Homo-oligomer: A and B are copies of this chain.
Amino acid sequence: MTVQNPFYTPEVQGPYQMISIGRFELEEGEVLEDLQLAVSTHGQLNDEKDNAILIATWFSGTHQTWEQVYIGEGRALDPSKYFIVIINQIGNGLSTSSNNIDGAQAGPNFPKVRIGDDVRAQKILLEQEWGITKLFAVLGGSMGAQQTWEWAVRFPDSVERAGAIAGTAQNTPHDFLFTKTLIDAITSDPGFNGGNYTSHTEVEAGLRRHADIWAVMGFSTEYWKTEFWKPLVPEGQEWNFEEFSQNFLGTLFAQMDPNVLLSMAWKWQRGDVARNTDGDLAAALGRVQAKFFDMPISSDMFFPPADAQAEVELCPAAELRVIESTCGHFGLFGFETTYFDQVDAHLNELFSA
């Protein structure tokens, strides 16, 4: 049974194409008989097919934020130069997911999907649709960064450049435990009913507690102390920080589908390129051939620069480029012009190499 939710429509997320890559075997063993990926493209593929940039999406996100804040003429991600392909991750509510699949795999029975599944599916799609076998670059933030690392390790000959923002190659136990609190906030809601709700609104309390945890881990102490959120308060409203958290983050996450979030959370917890090398992280990171910029956000509480640095030290191809931001992990949403300026500078350097 599909769950109706306007959040997962082109009206809310902006236009995208659904592209089928057919039958797809997942790493955990189950099969999606008709895997469809929600894709948004910008710019034109050149005749040499060497200007394609793949962007992978993050937890709870879609192609939309990338379009709104990272891509534009004159920006590093310039659609007049590059063919930019944003592929929504499997299970995110737009691509084949628990909320849009019929039959035995619907809802709480949607199969477990791994980062490696996304990357393999993306590779098939790029070849099938456009004959792209080598990417000018792969980029992503957070879970998109997990996919970026996976691309560079799994398909080292297919990635010339890679930029991972605010995400790691191997998820840390601390991050796993954090994600568990997000999961538990949803599943503990009696309205969740083991995933068998009929509308996400039945799980609103759990979704809002989930948002409350994001308010702590997604931002930073400086973000809240400096009232960085003030410009986001609608005109005429007087919100304090708690009201901002409720009205902005709470209302955002309350629109989402619980099973969709849980599918991505399970995947996020288990992101690990060392699955390609029998658990040897150094061996996995040693496989990277791409010029790789690893770009943690300075105030990120769960993908902190220290975790990125430890991985860069194991990856001869990678350079650490810390992005200074007050906004923690949610710096990704681009609340600061200084954030974009840094990202664009790093990407311009990466792309000119």
Chain A residues close to B by CB (< 8 Å): 172-178, 180-181, 184-185, 188-190, 205-206, 209, 212-213, 215-217, 219-225, 241-242, 245, 301-302, 304, 306-307, 310
Contacts and interface: CB of A to CB of B under 8 A. Distances in A.
Contacts of A241: 173, 176-177
Contacts of A217: 216
Contacts of A184: 209, 212
B222 A177 contact: no
A249 to B, nearest CB: 10
A181 B245 CA distance: 12
B216 A181 contact: yes
Given A188-B189, A216-B178, A173 B209 contact: no
Count of this chain's copies in the oligomeric assembly: 2
A224 B181 contact: no
Given A205-B188, A221-B304, A306-B222, A213 B173 contact: no
Contacts of A242: 173, 176-177, 180
12 contacts: A173-B242, A174-B216, A174-B224, A176-B242, A177-B224, A177-B242, A184-B212, A213-B213, A221-B304, A221-B307, A222-B306, A301-B301
> Which of A185, A205, A206 counts the most B-chain CB atoms under 10 A from its CB?
A185
Contacts of A176: 241-242
Contacts of A181: 181, 209, 212-213, 216
Given A184-B209, A188-B206, 12 more contacts: A172-B221, A172-B225, A174-B219, A174-B220, A174-B224, A177-B212, A177-B224, A181-B209, A188-B188, A188-B209, A216-B217, A221-B304
